Structure 1
């Protein structure tokens, strides 16, 4: 084989290797950007459902404190609908915390109403959404 052919083949293979490296780098960069975008969209979706559950739970809990039974089921039904959304996107730990919130709200509906004339004893157990919010924060943390 003549030295001219060796030089030409070397240049050709060098160009091919350079082109392959460029294509591989571009593909890896694009793949990483797509994965990052997908994770950001998933977190945004979870965050919207978590906020929706917190809002609805707060309204239902206030209603439950004022009632001695479920008079208008719309508060509870919207919570059940949001719970279904949570089951699609949230972790098991977060779902279990949400179920405990719902159980507490239902139990509050059938307990004596809140006496607004006396100051109730407050402690960490009074915050029905604390555990759920902590689970959500842990789940949204990168």
Structure 2
């Protein structure tokens, strides 16, 4: 069976159009899929940034209070930190959670230590930076998410 040249031309034109349309659809789908993925990653990074900032705020307040107070007179002062750590456990990486728990432990220790003993133990300014390891873990995590 021989095909008419006009039929071959028409089939070729239709096949070319179908291939062009298919590649256009595939390109659009891939572009949309990548944009959606990037948007989700950015939202995840923003959520983590908010949680990290919330924990830093709570830890700073509790640490400052612990330095001034001789003892923990109201345990509810630590509740916001426990809340923030629990939120971190939902989304953060284990290294970041471990750093947050170390900060919490340091804050509790600060409440248990007298002001004069605390001043003797922390003679350098860098020793007061209890959030450094946590902040570095947060930065590493955000870099890996983005």
Taking the aligned partners of 2:94 and 2:116, their CA distance within structure 1 comes to 32
The DSSP-based 3-state class of the residue aligned with 1:125 is helix
Taking the aligned partners of 2:116 and 2:18, their CA distance within structure 1 comes to 77
Bigger share in helix: 2
Among residues 52, 56, 59, which one is paired with 2:58 in the alignment? Answer: 56
Taking the aligned partners of 1:114 and 1:36, their CA distance within structure 2 comes to 51
Query: What CA deviation, in whole Å up to 9, does each residue of 1:14-50 have, x standing for no partner?
Result: 0000000000000000000000100000000000000
Gap change, CA 1:26 and 1:84, over 3 Å in 2: same
Residue 101 of structure 1: aligned partner = 103
The DSSP-based 3-state class of the residue aligned with 1:36 is helix
Taking the aligned partners of 2:65 and 2:114, their CA distance within structure 1 comes to 13
Under a length normalisation based on structure 1, what TM-score does the superposition of the two structures give? 0.92
Residue 19 of structure 1: aligned partner = 21
Listed as ranges, the gaps of 5+ residues in structure 1 are none
Query: What CA deviation, in whole Å up to 9, does each residue of 1:91-121 have, x standing for no partner?
Result: 1000000000000001111111258x99x61
Residue 46 of structure 2: aligned partner = 44
Listed as ranges, the gaps of 5+ residues in structure 2 are none
| 1:1-142 correspondence runs (5 A) | 1-113=3-115, 121-141=123-143, 142=146
Runs of 4+ in 1 over 4 A off after TM superposition: none
Question: How big is the shift at 1:123?
Answer: 4.9
Taking the aligned partners of 1:44 and 1:114, their CA distance within structure 2 comes to 40
> Greater CA deviation, 42-51 or 106-115?
106-115
The number of residue pairs the alignment matches comes to 140
The DSSP-based 3-state class of the residue aligned with 2:130 is coil
The DSSP-based 3-state class of the residue aligned with 1:39 is helix
Taking the aligned partners of 2:44 and 2:127, their CA distance within structure 1 comes to 31
RMSD of aligned residue pairs (Cα, Å): 1.7
